[in-house]
Amino acid sequence: MIRKNILNFTPYKSARSLYKNNHNDLITLNANESPITSIFSLNKKIFNKYPEPQSRELINLYSKYVNLSTQNILITRGADEGIDLIIRTFCNKKDDKILFCPPTYDMYRVTAEILDIEYLMINSNINWDLDLNKIKKNLSNIKIIFICNPNNPTGNYIDKNNIIKLLKLTKDKIIVVIDEAYIEFCIDQTLTNFINKYNNLIILRTLSKAFALAGLRCGFILTNKYIIDILVKVIAPYPIPEPVINIATQALNSKNLIIMQNNVKTIINNKKWLIKNLNKCNCIKNIFNSATNFILIKFHNSEIIFKKLIKKKIIVRNQNHEKKLNNCLRITIGTFIECKKLLFELQKLSF
């Protein structure tokens, strides 16, 4: 009775599912979570009524934050629901495909396979940027192009001029989805100001990373009013729980936005310090440029490093399964103390 594509597909392996040990003394640098705790308390205590389908207060606050009209915003259960919602809304199983550029976030593939939608992978070029020439030649039956910007797991941002070229090339024909989960770490690279210029542009956002609210599962779709009105037809009737709305609205007030921005600066400073010192470790072959809250590192032997770090209760994300990322580990930037512990262990492994 189960669909064949579900029986045969490889699910997304979340950081928690890969390493289920929940000891408090673990240093978990494998899920790109913020190391800085956001402390909020629920203002509302009664939950016997359904929530507002799309909280006006939350949309108003996010509208001010991103400088867009409230008509350009839809709240989702994290950016992952946004990916699912867009594919379900636009793709016909018989004819349509999605396109994405590995190495990148695996949920584009996973969601397509769950929904039984075909996908085409056009590998990033040598600089982890878009290979526009190859993309141009492979647009037949493509309905949606997903671009993670800045990209996970490589950490780089995509050349804005290349994205604009792609938007012009696909205008009125193909939806271009820019996944800006990590954009607060390089906010000048956002494409929100192009939403009303290109009617095929959709942007995904989340409160999971810079806002330190991964446990909240709150995200946003930013696009033109016409697409928002179509997506509203497909999204669940009450997608956002009242406690999520309550905490998210607190996170977006002016005082807490300043705290978030200061936390971003702290994480970036920790990253700069860590990279500077890691460059002295001879177990490392290359540290890739990062515009995010994580770094991708190529080791001489990543499997040994990965296992030895686990023994020291430091958990990072192994990327060795990716063809272009052999001997690579993705490491989330932790607190300064966590960065020092990581450096200490990698220094020991450098001799």
* 290 plus 227 within the same structural domain: no
* 268 plus 330 within the same structural domain: yes
* 234 plus 306 within the same structural domain: no
In a domain, 325, yes or no: yes
- What is the tens place of the pLDDT at every residue in 322-336? 889 999 999 999 999
End position of a domain, from candidates 223, 252, 281: 252
End position of a domain, from candidates 252, 277, 296: 252
Looking only at the bridges linking them, the beta strands covering 201-206 and 175-179 are parallel
* 19 plus 72 within the same structural domain: no
Residue 17 has pLDDT above 80, yes or no: no
**Cβ atoms of residues 206 and 78 within 8 Å:** yes
Number of domains observed in the structure of the chain: 2
* 324 plus 196 within the same structural domain: no
End position of a domain, from candidates 195, 230, 252: 252
* 94 plus 189 within the same structural domain: yes
* 23 plus 132 within the same structural domain: no
What pLDDT does 198 receive? 98
* 141 plus 183 within the same structural domain: yes
Look up the CATH number of the domain holding residue 13.
Answer: 3.90.1150.10
Residue 206 has pLDDT above 80, yes or no: yes
What pLDDT does 323 receive? 81
- What is the tens place of the pLDDT at every residue in 267-309? 999 999 999 999 999 999 999 999 999 999 999 999 999 999 9
DSSP 330-350: EEE---HHHHHHHHHHHHHTT
In a domain, 197, yes or no: yes
Q: Packing angle between helix 336-348 and helix 254-278, nearest 10 degrees?
A: 20
* 243 plus 264 within the same structural domain: no
294, β-bridge pairs: 332
* 216 plus 155 within the same structural domain: yes
- What is the tens place of the pLDDT at every residue in 189-202? 999 999 999 999 99
* 97 plus 232 within the same structural domain: yes
* 22 plus 144 within the same structural domain: no
Q: Please state whether the predicted TM-score (pTM) of the whole model is above 0.85.
A: yes
Indicate the average pLDDT of the chain: 95
Look up the CATH number of the domain holding residue 106.
Answer: 3.40.640.10
Which structural domain range is residue 138 located in? 56-252
What pLDDT does 9 receive? 83
With left for phi above 0 and alpha for psi between -120 and 50, is residue 131 left, alpha or beta?
Answer: beta
- CA distances from residue 265 to 72, 259, 272, 273 in whole angstroms, order as listed: 28, 10, 11, 12
- CA 269, CA 22: separation in Å to the nearest integer? 28
